[in-house]
Amino acid sequence: MSTPTSPPPVPPAPAWAHPWPAPAPPLPVVPGSTAGVVVGIVALAGGLVLLLPLVVAPIAWYLGARAHRRAEREPDRWRPAGTARTAMVLGMVGSGILAVVSLLAVVIATLTWVAIATPSPY
């Protein structure tokens, strides 16, 4: 019967080896947050020129809020929700501007309608 042999000795670590483990790879960005930021930037930048792209600002707010909830629900799976928060803020600002512009359009249309419908004494 043979005697059990011990495992071979572990060679020492080379001089260039680090004594600490390699860092973990970064977590992925929450799906939808980047799209929300892009839509928010398009809404605000386009809204300054044409006002029509402001209509998509609530979509940026929705995408950002959905991504933020997902990142908060699964913090060990997704990167912190900074990009999602940015999409939410861009969507909120664009939605606020859209609300003000819409209110001004309704007020101007009402005043125009009243001015046209009122008979002139002249």
Check whether 25 has a pLDDT greater than 90: no
Q: 53-90 pLDDT, tens per residue?
A: 999 999 999 999 999 999 999 988 998 889 999 999 99
Burial zone of 31 (CB within 10 Å; 0-12 exposed, 13-18 middle, 19+ buried): middle
Q: What is the DSSP letter of 74?
A: -
Dist CA 118 CA 116 (whole Å): 6
Dist CA 104 CA 122 (whole Å): 29
Can you give the pTM of this predicted structure?
Answer: 0.75
Q: How far is CA 12 from the centre of its chain?
A: 48
